[in-house]
Amino acid sequence: MATGIPRTQSNGIGSGHIDPELSSGMVLHYEGKTPAEQILRGERRNFSRVWAGRRSSTMADGQKRLYFGENLTALLSLLDDSAICGKVRLVYIDPPFATRSVFQSRRQVDAYSDLLVGAHYLEFLRNRLIVLRELLAEDGSIYVHLDDKMACHVKIIMDEIFGRNQFRNFITRKKCNPKNYTRKVFGNVADFILFYTRTDRYVWNRPIEPWTPERARKEYEYLDPQTGRRYKKVPVHAPGVRHGETGKRWRGKLPPPGKHWQYAPETLDELDAKGEIYWSPNGNPRRKVYLDQSEGVAIQDIWLTLRDAHNQNIKITGYPTEKNPELLHRIISASSNEGDLVLDCFSGSGTTLAVANSLNRRWIGIDSSSAAIETTLRRFAHGMSIMGDFVEKKTQTPSEKMPLPLFGDAAPNHSVHRTTHVPITDFSFWSDAECSEHATRLASEWKSWTAETEREGATATALIRGNSSTRLDRHAAPDRSRR
């Protein structure tokens, strides 16, 4: 397991009592702010399992779960689950953005409301962040996706909850193509992701972009005349005065004023002996860094290539605010390993869950929107459809089966994508009492669909085996005749 150990040591926040005054030095005050201890003692609801799921080798302890219900009560219930509490490696959430809007799917169905603003919104989110912190493993991470309306306020709240020293990045993402505003403002094409960790020791698999030939030639502009290896020159000193070995003379030279050698003199001697130090005509040393020793370019905190759906050829679910799967792929790959548990309590169309599943992670998704749960189940069954399907639908032939009621009469035809999509069935489906009637109906339709799919799969397998046996018999007949 890869771990990151930053230089700044923990301030003691990371386990036990949450003390805002100690954790950040700055506190956001507003009316209705509830003490953390009171939040953690909040109401637990009984969630019933309405679908047991198909077992698989990746479903240890039943930890692929989809919850239909209010997410705070679901999270509080998970605090009492020893298989979950303190074992969540990664949390990604894309909560409402305080837009004062009601969002609809592309079928013009109300998907969810985003009407909370100001202090009400902050307390809504803060309650959930406090519980999520308790669910995180000691080496866990949390990413919170926001826009410019509340990102700065939530940054202060997260400093209080997780500790200012556990802040890692304020990531800026280009979310869409440029806008041609008529208002007197710059085009709004960015949203933001706050990245925090539970402690200073956290899972970190550094994401990189592979070198392109053009970029490699530009950055590694020199060729070693003896080996032909491409390299670049970098300083052998770093900012800051040191009084130990790295602050002493090397080859008669002191480091530049206000700086120190990156390595002790004996290490610099070893690098020079291997031909890895370049000496300029005026005698200044620089280190040779070779292209073939670099895996790629480290990803920085501005992400320009992970926009949400922007053309008719991209596959989507049609759920509002649906995020780019590659965005989740980057986050999940960086902050978890195979077999780890990933949680999204605003799971929406199920992007986090589907990507986590494809990366061999276990997952928990929670949402209170019936449109979100139906979209997620549809996605698990059939994958996604081309964005343009709702503009120009494919005409079905009589032999093509209509989707089950779960997938809606107006849903795009997904049969053309079944060859590349592997249905996700090894999860359990849970519901609270308020959603139980709807959840039971969905579970019944889902069970019917999975049973039908299994029958079709068994029939196809039998046909393939039968054809193979026939071909083998035909090839074997001449051999028997020669005997």
Q: What is the pLDDT of residues 282-305, one digit of tens each?
A: 999 999 999 999 989 999 999 999
Side chain identity, residue 145? H
Specify burial of residue 461 (Cβ count, 10 A radius: 0-12, 13-18, 19+).
Answer: exposed
**Do 252 and 378 have their domain in common?**
no
* Res. 184: pLDDT tops 90: no
Side chain identity, residue 248? K
User: Is 468 a member of any domain?
Assistant: no
Q: Is residue 101 a contact partner of residue 114, using CB atoms and an 8 Å limit? A: yes
118-135 helix and 71-78 helix, angle to the nearest 10 degrees: 20
DSSP string, 40-100: HT-----PEEEE-----TT-GGG-EEEEES-HHHHHHHHTT-TTTTT-EEEEEE-------
User: Is 76 a member of any domain?
Assistant: yes
DSSP string, 308-369: ---STTSEE---TTPPPHHHHHHHHHHH--TT-EEEESS-TTSHHHHHHHHTT-EEEEEE--
Q: Which of 295, 294, 303, 300 is nearest to 323 (CA)?
A: 303
**Do 265 and 136 have their domain in common?**
no
pLDDT for res 476: 52
pLDDT for res 471: 53
**Do 176 and 240 have their domain in common?**
no
Domain-terminating residue out of 379, 407, 435: 407
User: Is 414 a member of any domain?
Assistant: no
Q: Is 138 or 113 the better-scoring residue by pLDDT?
A: 138
Q: How many residues does the chain have?
A: 483
**Do 263 and 173 have their domain in common?**
no
Domain-terminating residue out of 236, 262, 297: 297
Residues forming beta bridges with residue 386, ordered by sequence position: 315
Measured between its terminal Cα atoms, the distance across the chain in Å is 60
Rounded (10°) CA dihedral 329, 331, 336, 337:
30
* Res. 312: pLDDT tops 80: no
pLDDT for res 316: 83
* Res. 480: pLDDT tops 70: no
Quote the DSSP letter at residue 253. Answer: B
**Do 372 and 270 have their domain in common?**
no
Whole-number percent of the chain with pLDDT over 70: 76
Residues forming beta bridges with residue 230, ordered by sequence position: 223
> Mean of the pLDDT values across residues 442-451?
87
Dihedral angle sign, alpha carbons of residues 221, 305, 132, 35: positive
Measured between alpha carbons, how far is 403 from 381 in angstroms, rounded to an integer? Answer: 10
pLDDT for res 98: 46
Which stretch of 46-60, 86-100, 284-298 has the lowest confidence by average pLDDT? Answer: 46-60
* Res. 154: pLDDT tops 60: yes
* Res. 463: pLDDT tops 90: no
Q: Is residue 149 a contact partner of residue 204, using CB atoms and an 8 Å limit? A: no
* Res. 412: pLDDT tops 60: no
pLDDT for res 242: 94
Q: In total, how many domains does the chain have?
A: 2
Quote the DSSP letter at residue 422. Answer: -
User: Is 228 a member of any domain?
Assistant: yes
151-162 helix and 118-135 helix, angle to the nearest 10 degrees: 40
pLDDT for res 7: 45
* Helix and strand counts by DSSP (H, E) for the chain: 11, 24
Q: What is the pLDDT of residues 35-44, one digit of tens each?
A: 999 999 998 8
Rounded (10°) CA dihedral 35, 170, 334, 12:
-40
Which stretch of 3-7, 188-192, 410-414, 472-476 has the lowest confidence by average pLDDT? Answer: 410-414
**Do 286 and 307 have their domain in common?**
no
User: Is 479 a member of any domain?
Assistant: no
Specify burial of residue 230 (Cβ count, 10 A radius: 0-12, 13-18, 19+).
Answer: middle
* Res. 334: pLDDT tops 50: yes
* Res. 179: pLDDT tops 50: yes
User: Is 221 a member of any domain?
Assistant: yes
User: Is 436 a member of any domain?
Assistant: no
> Mean of the pLDDT values across residues 470-476?
52
Across all residues in the chain, what is the average pLDDT? 82
Q: Which two tokens stand for residue 225?
A: 């005349």
pLDDT for res 462: 65
User: Is 180 a member of any domain?
Assistant: yes
* Res. 127: pLDDT tops 90: yes
Helix (H) / strand (E) containing 191:
strand 190-197
Which stretch of 205-209, 282-286, 338-342, 413-417 has the lowest confidence by average pLDDT? Answer: 413-417
pLDDT for res 62: 58
* Res. 360: pLDDT tops 80: yes
Enclosing domain of residue 124: 3-206+299-407
Q: Is 392 or 266 the better-scoring residue by pLDDT?
A: 266
pLDDT for res 57: 52
Specify burial of residue 264 (Cβ count, 10 A radius: 0-12, 13-18, 19+).
Answer: middle
At 102, the pLDDT band (50, 70, 90 cuts) reads low
**Do 82 and 194 have their domain in common?**
yes
Domain-terminating residue out of 279, 297, 315: 297
**Do 58 and 76 have their domain in common?**
yes
Residue with tokens 């109401």: 43
* Res. 21: pLDDT tops 50: no
pLDDT for res 180: 76
Q: What is the pLDDT of residues 235-283, one digit of tens each?
A: 999 999 999 999 999 999 999 999 999 999 999 999 999 999 999 999 9
* Res. 398: pLDDT tops 80: no
**Do 74 and 86 have their domain in common?**
yes
Q: Is residue 192 a contact partner of residue 158, using CB atoms and an 8 Å limit? A: no
pLDDT for res 25: 67
